[in-house]
Amino acid sequence: MFDPLNIATGVLTLYESKTLKNIFHNNLWDKFYYEFIHKDDYYFKSYTKHVTIYRNGNGIVKNNFFIRVVNDDSFSEFERKVDISDAKKSTFFIPLEDMLKVNLSDRFNGGFGFWYDCIGSTSHNFILGIDEQKQKNKRVLKWVFHFDQAVIKGLPHRIFNLSYAISIPGMFPIIDGKTDQTMLPQKDYEFGSSLQVWHRMSEINYIISFEKGIDLRDIRCYSLIEQKDGDRNESLKKKLLHIAYEKDIFYDKYILSYKRPKLKSTIQFSWNVK
pLDDT of residue 25: 47
Lowest mean pLDDT among 31-45, 133-147, 213-227: 31-45
pTM of the predicted model as reported, rounded to 2 decimal places: 0.85
116-119 contacts: CB < 8 A, separation 24 or more? 116/145, 116/162, 116/163, 116/164, 116/165, 117/162, 117/163, 117/164, 118/160, 118/161, 118/162, 118/163, 119/160, 119/161, 119/162, 119/163
Of 5-19, 85-99, 110-124, the poorest mean pLDDT is in 5-19
pLDDT tier at 64 (50, 70, 90 boundaries)?
A: very high
Instruction: Please choose, from the candidates 82, 75, 117, the residue with its C-alpha nearest in 3D space to the C-alpha of residue 100.
Output: 117
Higher pLDDT: 124 or 143? It is 143
Pairing of strands 203-211, 42-53: parallel
Distance, CA of 267 to chain centre: 9
Between strands 251-259 and 244-247, the pairing is: antiparallel
Kindly list the structural domains of the chain, giving each domain's residue range(s) and its CATH number in brackets, ordered by start: 1-39 (no CATH), 42-273 (2.60.40)
| pLDDT given for residue 21 in this prediction | 47
Distance (Å, whole) CA 130 – CA 80 = 11
Model confidence pLDDT, tens digit, residues 222-246: 999 987 665 555 678 899 999 999 9
Percent of the chain with pLDDT over 70: 81
The chain-wide mean pLDDT, for the chain, equals 85
Mean pLDDT of 151-171: 90
Cβ atoms < 10 Å from Cβ of 254: 21
For residues 180 and 17, the model is more confident at: 180
Q: How confident is the model at residue 255 (pLDDT cuts 50, 70, 90)?
A: very high
